[in-house]
Structure 1
């Protein structure tokens, strides 16, 4: 059974961070993150592009663990379940190829069949659904198609601009998420209090 670093519950490179390079931010995340070999098989089947055959091929926006970690950082999300739900949902939505049926099936599996440490609780499932829609309306490039390796020394702010990630759109949603989840620390820390 994998061990989970306690800092995974508090890790965050916020959306307001523009100056760290992708490499610097990834180094911070990798210092506390788990290895790909520790990801349960059902999670791999649902999210890993290596399982892009029927029926799993219906789930669009599937990415490698490296890509997934980069997307977390670009979206200004931490590593709690609600952050995972948002990152996965937004990535799927940005593909512009995820059907409503596939989205609902994924949410059901992640909310009921994933092992407990990975399972989306109801509030995270709602954030996942919102994130799929937000990714669909975003003008950003499909995030699963990006090769992040050439961007390792780009600053996060510049890379978000390059990929068309609308920081104002994300900030607006993060305020809504925080208002809906007043007792969830991971949602409350997304936008600085004004």
Structure 2
């Protein structure tokens, strides 16, 4: 299903648990793998020999955007990447610090993170460490495309109420960003917010 929505407008939120993973992914204006800069692929693609722990392919990365209710802005990307790295049992503190330096100093625009994005990264990392399913970069999301987001969140231990609380906290810590203003902070469903 093609969508006319711009990448910076897309935001699935968390009140979509009755939809299947493939239904939500179909609305995502995804980048082509060849559009991702080589430096980003070098550190984040699991096929790279020097990828960081938590590296994940684009299909699985997109699934996490849907499950975590995050859009595609840098702050959202930071949370999703942090979450994936946090779910890894094979990450060391020095790797976290090195990755944070690389992503704030070496990554090209628009992939480079700012200090505020690192706040979201840290929140995502901490949440990723707290879930029971480990190494989500290896989780076969492709097999579960017809499963509802509620069921997948349950299987993975992703608690939407906890995410609402984390996103409320994030919106206080990073109050002046567009990504924060559209975070799904409300436990009660509202009309779908795409921007």
TM-score, normalization: structure 1? Answer: 0.89
Residue 139 of structure 1, aligned match among 132, 140, 158: 132
* TM-aligned CA distance change 1:148 to 1:115, over 3 Å: same
Q: What's the counterpart of residue 48 of structure 1?
A: 45
Structure 1, unpaired ranges of 5+? none
Aligned: 1:149 with 2:142 = yes
Structure 1: which 4+ aligned runs deviate by more than 6 Å? Answer: none
TM-score, normalization: structure 2? Answer: 0.88
How many angstroms apart in 1 are the aligned matches of 2:131 and 2:113?
23
Aligned: 1:18 with 2:17 = yes
Instruction: Report the Cα offset of residue 192 of structure 1.
Output: 4.2
- Whether contact under 8 Å (2:60, 2:142) holds in the other structure is no
Q: What's the counterpart of residue 122 of structure 2?
A: 129
Alignment of 1:94-173 (within 5 A): 94-173=87-166
Deviations 1:138-179 (Å, cap 9, x if unpaired)?
Answer: 223431121111101111111111122122222211110001
How many angstroms apart in 1 are the aligned matches of 2:127 and 2:145?
26
How many angstroms apart in 1 are the aligned matches of 2:99 and 2:183?
25
How many angstroms apart in 2 are the aligned matches of 1:114 and 1:62?
16
Count of residues paired in the alignment = 184
Q: What's the counterpart of residue 64 of structure 1?
A: 57
Structure 2, unpaired ranges of 5+? 189-195
How many angstroms apart in 1 are the aligned matches of 2:138 and 2:30?
23
How many angstroms apart in 1 are the aligned matches of 2:92 and 2:165?
25
Larger helix proportion of the pair = 1
How many angstroms apart in 2 are the aligned matches of 1:142 and 1:174?
23
- Whether contact under 8 Å (1:9, 1:80) holds in the other structure is yes
Deviations 1:7-46 (Å, cap 9, x if unpaired)?
Answer: 11121111221111111111111xx221001000000001
